[in-house]
Amino acid sequence: MATEVERKTDIGPPHFEQFLHPLMKENYGKWKYHETLEPGVLAHTGDAGTLYSVRCASPRLASTNFIRTMTGLADKYADGYLRFTSRNNVEFLLADKDNIEPLKKDLADLNIPVGGTNNAISNVVHTQGWVHCHSSATDASGLVKAVMDELTDYFTSEKLPARIRLAVACCLNMCGAVHASDIAILGVHRTPPVIDNASLPNLCEIPTTVASCPNNAIKPTSIEGKTTVTVDEDKCMYCGNCYTVCPAMPLADPLNDGVSIWVGGKISNARSEPMFTKLAIPYLPNNPPRWPEAVDAVKNIVEVYAANAKPFERMGEWIERIGWPKFFDLTGIEFTKYHLDDFRFAGTTYRRSTHNRY
């Protein structure tokens, strides 16, 4: 048995300096420029020398086996230094240029793609889905795998006009903040929670359940002398917060849950200002394990964009230039009443000019 040790709290994370590659320490704040040697391989140069970063994909939902494989490669080629990017890629930090090719070969043998730099589709930012989440309308890891299997070629190359940032969120709580991505897949519930009136009084605290609704759609009521709740279906936006506190209000609906597709958001300030994603396709069915409808829809948008956008024009910038009618025209996506906003400030999205292209 472990001996009793003093319980530590509030120590915070370790200081990052102990994890920095020696070249990162020496060039800290003094880097001069960087180059892309090939897709997935960056070279950053400062007075102390050049550091090579080799970037590869990861499933993000990764086992300790996968991480140990990565650390093993870092030990073999990168003096034990590696990092993760904000989009869940792994980066090996190499001082020796001659290690790039052997590392790439080892990664290729493990079937791990190298890429994700510049005008590529980088790894997908995504949420937990059916792997871990109680309110998910779809799976996230499976969708990502199915989509990226079709788009791996865009990860390992830089042949797009500009980068495409993909995101997947499994319900509108959007833990992955997909609202500013070039293309986002968003899981949607389309029906309010079903109330199990028989068990609710025993399972749930009524005040807590009422308070859990962000839209005040839940009210207490009495059925056969027992206190339960009702949901104002017009107010419900299917967030699942009530199910969080009350298991007698399941939201999952296999018949109606599915995914929606959103386009044209961006975060960087390059050229244009950051933009929200906008609705492209309001509903596609959940069709595991490979979600062919969603995969085809994303691939179609990517290919139409790739064929039509100018160099360094992001998805949203391209659509702004050609106009939304043409976007729907070129992609063959149907424009429906669901594309018309009806929430707060909906009017700001209505066109108030004669600027139409014919």
Partner 1 sequence: MADDLKIPLLEELEKGPWPSFVSDIKSMADKSEVAADLLRQLEKSYEDKRGYWKHGGLVGVLGYGGGVIGRYSALPEEFPGVSHFHTVRVNQPSGWVYTSKALNEIMDIWDEHGSGLTNMHGSTGDMVLLGTNTDELEPTFQALTQKGWDLGGSGSDMRTPSCCIGPARCEWACYDTMDLCYNLTQEYQDELHRPMFNYKFKIKMSGCPNDCVASQARSDMAIIGIWKDEIQIDKDAYAAYMKDGFNIKDLVVDMCPTGCITADENDIEIDDSNCVKCMHCIARLPKALAPGKERGATISLGAKAPIVEGALIAQNIIPFMEMEKPYEELHDLIERIWEFWDDHGKARERIGEFIERVSLATFLENTGLDPLPQMVQEPRDNPYIFYEEYYAEEDEEAASDE
Partner 2 sequence: MAADVSIDQLADDMYEIVADSAGKKKLKAGDLTKAMTAKYGDAITRKDCKAAIKQLIDSGRCVYGYFGGSSIELPRTEGAANE
Which of these ranges, 59-67, 192-200, 227-235, 331-339, lies near partner 1 under the rule CB under 8 A?
Answer: 59-67
Q: Which stretch binds partner 1 (CB under 8 A): 58-66, 97-105, 191-199, 326-334?
A: 58-66
Q: Which of 13, 14, 207, 332 touches partner 2 by CB under 8 A?
A: 207
Q: Is the dihedral of CA 147, 152, 158, 159 positive or negative?
A: negative
Contacted entry of partner 2, partner 1, none for residue 74, CB cut-off 5 to 8 Å set by kind: partner 1
Window 238-267: residues binding partner 2 (CB under 8 A): 241, 244-247
Here the tokens at position 152 are 């791996």
Quick one: 144 exposed, middle or buried, by C-beta within 10 A (0-12, 13-18, 19+)?
buried
Of residues 187-206, those binding partner 2 (CB under 8 A) = 203-205
- Is residue 287 left, alpha or beta, with left meaning phi > 0 and alpha meaning psi from -120 to 50? beta
State the minimum distance, in angstroms, from the CB of residue 358 to partner 1. Answer: 26
Name which of partner 1, partner 2, none residue 85 binds, using a CB cut-off of 5 to 8 Å depending on partner kind.
Answer: partner 1
Binding partner 2 by CB under 8 A: which of 117, 127, 128, 212? 212
Over its C-alpha atoms, the chain yields an Rg (Å, rounded) of 24
Q: Is 208 in the site for partner 2 (CB under 8 A)?
A: yes
Q: Coil, strand, or helix at residue 184?
A: strand
Please state the closest distance from residue 73 (CB atom) to partner 1, in A: 9
Interface positions, 301-320, toward partner 1 (CB under 8 A):
311-312
Using the rule CB under 8 A, is 174 a contact of partner 2?
no
- Say how many residues touch partner 2, by CB under 8 A: 13
Q: How far apart are CA 347 and CA 23, in angstroms?
A: 54
Residues 188, 238: contact at Cβ < 8 Å? yes
Q: Which stretch binds partner 1 (CB under 8 A): 226-234, 285-293, 332-340, 348-356?
A: 285-293
Residue 111 interacting entry, from partner 1, partner 2, none, C-beta within 5 to 8 Å by type: partner 1
What residues numbered 202-241 form the site for partner 1, per CB under 8 A?
211, 214-215, 239, 241
Give which of 29, 43, 271 is closest to 163, Cα–Cα: 271
User: What residues pair up with 168 in beta bridges, in sequence order?
Assistant: 126, 185
Q: How far apart are CA 182 and CA 211, in angstroms?
A: 35
Q: Find out whether 95 and 79 touch, Cβ atoms under 8 Å.
A: yes
In the complex, the smallest distance separating the C-beta of residue 159 from partner 1, rounded to whole angstroms, is 16
DSSP summary character for residue 216: -
